Amino acid sequence: MENIILNVSGMSCGHCVKAIEGSVGELAGVDQVKVNLEDGQVAVSFNNEKVTLDKIKETIDDQGYDVE
Ligand SMILES: [Cu+2]
């Protein structure tokens, strides 16, 4: 299991938290996803044999947020 913290800009409210935690959480291979609004960070635990970091970043991007 990989644990990463992504810096994501554009997150501002509970809707953003739900959008990101919902979409990333639905990906097969993602174990946990937790948004920290204050720090603008998203912590993700995932199985890198089932899902790639690029796919996770792309999913966040697709929701309208910028991943560093
Ligand atoms: Cu929002």
Q: Which CATH number fits domain 2-67: 1.10.8.640, 3.30.70.100, 3.40.1360.10, 3.40.50.880?
A: 3.30.70.100
Give me the percent of the chain exceeding a pLDDT of 70: 100
For ligand 1, the distance from its centroid to the CA atom of residue 31, given in whole angstroms, is 23
The pLDDT value recorded for residue 47 is 98
Q: How far is the CA of 39 from the centre of ligand 1 (A)?
A: 14
Span from the CA of 49 to the centroid of ligand 1 (angstroms): 31
Distance (angstroms) between ligand 1 centre and the Cα of 66 equals 13
The predicted model scores a pTM of 0.94
What is the residue extent of each domain of the chain?
2-67
- Look at residue 8 in the predicted model and tell me its pLDDT: 98
How far apart, in whole angstroms, are the C-alpha atoms of residue 56 and residue 27?
A: 8
